[in-house]
Structure 1
Amino acid sequence: MRSAFDFSPFRRSTIGFDRLFDLLEDSGIGEASENYPPFDLVKVRDDEYRIDLAVAGFKRDEIDITAQQNQLIVKGRKSGDEGHDYIHRGIALRAFERRFGLADHVQVTDADLENGLLSISLKREIPEAMKPKKIEIGGKSGQSEQKAIEMQAEEKETA
């Protein structure tokens, strides 16, 4: 569903922000969002996070977790009714799909289901090529000084 806001003037004057505008347009601003199953977002450490979803009544094989293109999708589909004759059914066992947007370089590391709580562990791992590097200032004077130090060391070794 598209938002009521028109991003086309920004799209014309920016380069490389298409994904951001798509996210804003598809975010469903102003729509009633689905809130089942409830979840918690937990910051474990600086670069580690956890999503806890309350999925009481679901078994491991009834839940599907998929990570793709900066998005985490958790789907649950209850398999058949066990043939019980319910007088009242208050536990929500309906099918669900939850989507979580992931930042760049956030990877799913683990998932566990215990006591009706699905815990998905996430870690942000920045590749070495993208980490900040200290650049030494060089130049001719720096190279000359280095060469002079190397020559002095060689002279001491030969003496």
Structure 2
Amino acid sequence: MRTIDLSPLYRSFIGSDHLAAMIESAARNEKQASYPPYNIELLGEDKYRITMAIAGFSQDNIEIVVQENTLHVTGEIPNSEPKAAEKEQRQFLHKGISERSFERKFQLGDHVKVLAADMEHGLLNIDLERVIPEAKKPRKIEIGSRLIEG
């Protein structure tokens, strides 16, 4: 029997359980590069945190934009070509820290809001929360009650 890995569904669609949208999002994510690595963490019932490993970037090089239900995180390495003398001095035996620009997109569920973003020790943390409006929350209707319209 063939096993299907559903982990792309869980890591790319935050705050909603619309299966069709999750499948579509996971299909897009499979085509994306895996840089930079990230975690999506459930902090509470409706609270989430995205943590991205972005070593070598400063706050000035990172842009976070929310448009409709998509969170865009981009990192631009400034165009600073090392001088010839610098290139000769730097000799890597192993180069595992990537120094390239990136763009990551996360599909957000309905009513998911970005609360804050901070950067510490090469990690970018983006906190999110799903805030359901009162009109969308379930209401208990008592039997025998009447709605009085004024």
Query: Normalization by structure 2: what TM-score?
Result: 0.70
| Alignment gaps of 5+ in structure 1 | 1-19, 143-159
Aligned twin of 2:120: 114
Within 2, Cα distance between the matches of 1:31 and 1:52?
A: 19
In structure 2, relative to structure 1, the CA distance for the partners of 1:29 and 1:49 (3 Å cut) is closer
Aligned twin of 1:150: none
SS in 1 for 2:27: coil
Aligned twin of 1:48: 47
SS in 2 for 1:46: coil
Give the C-alpha shift of residue 60 in structure 1.
0.2
RMSD value, Cα: 2.7
Within 2, Cα distance between the matches of 1:62 and 1:136?
A: 55
Aligned AA (1:127): P
Please say which structure displays the higher CA radius of gyration.
1
Larger RCO of the pair (alpha carbons < 8 Å, separation 6+): 2
Alignment of 1:24-35 (within 5 A): 27-28=26-27, 32-35=31-34
Aligned residues: 122
Deviations 1:95-150 (A, max 9, x none): 100111111011000000101000000000000110111112227xx9xxxxxxxx
Within 2, Cα distance between the matches of 1:35 and 1:116?
A: 17
| Alignment gaps of 5+ in structure 2 | 1-18
SS in 2 for 1:92: coil
Aligned AA (1:87): Q
Within 2, Cα distance between the matches of 1:21 and 1:109?
A: 26
Aligned twin of 2:105: 99
Within 1, Cα distance between the matches of 2:59 and 2:29?
A: 34
Residue 135 (structure 2) pairs with residue 136 (structure 1): no
Give the C-alpha shift of residue 32 in structure 1.
4.2
Within 2, Cα distance between the matches of 1:21 and 1:42?
A: 22
Residue 40 (structure 2) pairs with residue 36 (structure 1): no
Q: Which has the higher helix share?
A: 1
Aligned twin of 1:123: 129
Contact 2:72 2:103 in 1 (8 A): yes
Give the C-alpha shift of residue 81 in structure 1.
2.4
SS in 2 for 1:129: helix
Contact 2:25 2:107 in 1 (8 A): no
